[in-house]
Amino acid sequence: MPRVHPTAIVDGEARLADDVVVGPHSVVEGGVQIGPGTVLREGVIVRRYTTLGAGNLVDAYAVLGGEPQDLKFDPATVSHLRIGDGNVFREGVTISRATGQGNETRVGNRTYWMATAHAGHNATVEDGVILANGCAVGGHATVGAAAILSAHVGIHQFCWVGERIMSQGHAGVSTHVPPYVLISGEINRVAGLNVVGLRRAPGFTDEDRRQIKEAFCLTYRAGMTTSQALERMDACKDWGAAAGRFREFIRRVLAAPKPFNRGLCPLRRRRGDQGED
């Protein structure tokens, strides 16, 4: 039997696993499903059409599955927020359900959302992502697995952020960010490879890291266009899966249709570099 505080409100059509805990003054609307071991602390609101998996912790005053912040949204639309297992949502986190009939906003497994982090409608946040205080992920954006977004980072709508990137605080991007890089605190600037993150990444070999560095240099250091860099990468037949994901990300960016045709995040100019970006 779920442990529901007497001051909480749980709609009779919500489905809660037997060991779910619902804290004081929390609200769980109809059409919600909450898996085993999930805890809602004080003042949490879980809106309709939200699904939470097992072992999630939702801290005080978070709002999950709120209506999308989209002026053309019809409140009668049935859309969803789907959340996996083992996630932590700290105080004041907000995540919107999708806009568009039958669509969904998606959160993977083992993500960590610090206070007041936000993801908009139709966004995807993959496994193991960390969002520090005040991060904002725009609508239809994707944040790849094990990415780390530092405090107050902003990801523009329709942008893709690759796996295992790390950002400096207060960074902002309105272009696509390839996997394994560092995002500078400036707007739309790659600072280099996330060398420390790659060294710590489980399952990555020295050869994986060498190939990723080669892919990065072809894209950002070789003086070629992105299309030319992709041609050179396609010639590297011996690359493993890790560098291959970098290459396929670049291919996807080049082929992106509107409104996802946002281009690739450029490299920050180093001291002494000449000319325009």
pLDDT, tens digit, for every residue of 69-103? 999 999 999 999 999 999 999 999 999 999 999 99
**Interhelix angle 241-254/206-220, nearest 10 degrees:** 20
**Interhelix angle 241-254/226-234, nearest 10 degrees:** 140
Residue 266 lies in a domain: no
Residue 23 lies in a domain: yes
pLDDT, tens digit, for every residue of 167-215? 999 999 999 999 999 999 889 999 999 999 999 999 999 999 999 999 9
List the domain range (segments joined by +) for residue 137.
3-198
CA-CA distance, 111 to 130, in Å (whole number)?
Answer: 6
Comparison of pLDDT for 268 and 103, the residue scoring more: 103
CA-CA distance, 249 to 255, in Å (whole number)?
Answer: 10
Q: Of the residues 182, 198, 214, which one is the last residue of a structural domain?
A: 198
Residue 269 lies in a domain: no
Domain containing 223 — which CATH number?
1.20.1180
Peptide bond into 6 cis (omega under 30): no
- The answer to whether the CB of 104 falls within 8 A of the CB of 80 is yes
Q: What percent of the chain has pLDDT over 70?
A: 97
- The answer to whether the CB of 183 falls within 8 A of the CB of 173 is yes
Pairing, β 181-183 against β 190-193: antiparallel
CA-CA distance, 134 to 149, in Å (whole number)?
Answer: 10
- Whether residue 240 is predicted with pLDDT greater than 90 in this model: the reply is yes
Tell me: do 24 and 91 sit in the same domain: yes
Q: Indicate the SS3 state at residue 28.
A: strand
Tell me: do 113 and 208 sit in the same domain: no
Phi, then psi, of 89 in degrees rounded to 5: -120, 110
Q: Indicate the SS3 state at residue 242.
A: helix
- The answer to whether the CB of 46 falls within 8 A of the CB of 64 is yes
Residue 94 lies in a domain: yes
- Whether residue 276 is predicted with pLDDT greater than 70 in this model: the reply is no
Number of domains in the chain: 2
CA-CA distance, 251 to 234, in Å (whole number)?
Answer: 10
Q: Indicate the SS3 state at residue 231.
A: helix
Tell me: do 29 and 162 sit in the same domain: yes
- The answer to whether the CB of 140 falls within 8 A of the CB of 68 is no
Phi, then psi, of 195 in degrees rounded to 5: -60, -45
Structure tokens at 241: 């899966």
Tell me: do 166 and 193 sit in the same domain: yes
Mean pLDDT over 35-56 rounds to 98
User: What is the pLDDT, as a whole number, of residue 275?
Assistant: 35
> Position of tokens 């860099």?
229
Q: Indicate the SS3 state at residue 196.
A: helix
Residue 47 lies in a domain: yes
Residue 268 lies in a domain: no
**Least confidently predicted of 127-131, 153-157, 182-186, 205-209:** 182-186
**Amino acid of residue 45:** I
Residue 139 lies in a domain: yes
Measured CA to CA in angstroms, residue 3 lies from 8, 22, 104 at distances of 10, 6, 28
Tell me: do 59 and 183 sit in the same domain: yes
Residue 188 lies in a domain: yes
CA-CA distance, 166 to 45, in Å (whole number)?
Answer: 30
Mean pLDDT over 98-117 rounds to 98
Tell me: do 20 and 126 sit in the same domain: yes
Could you tell me which residues come within 8 angstroms of residue 202 by beta carbon, excluding any fewer than 6 positions away? Answer: none
Mean pLDDT over 214-238 rounds to 97
User: What is the pLDDT, as a whole number, of residue 270?
Assistant: 62
Mean pLDDT over 140-159 rounds to 98
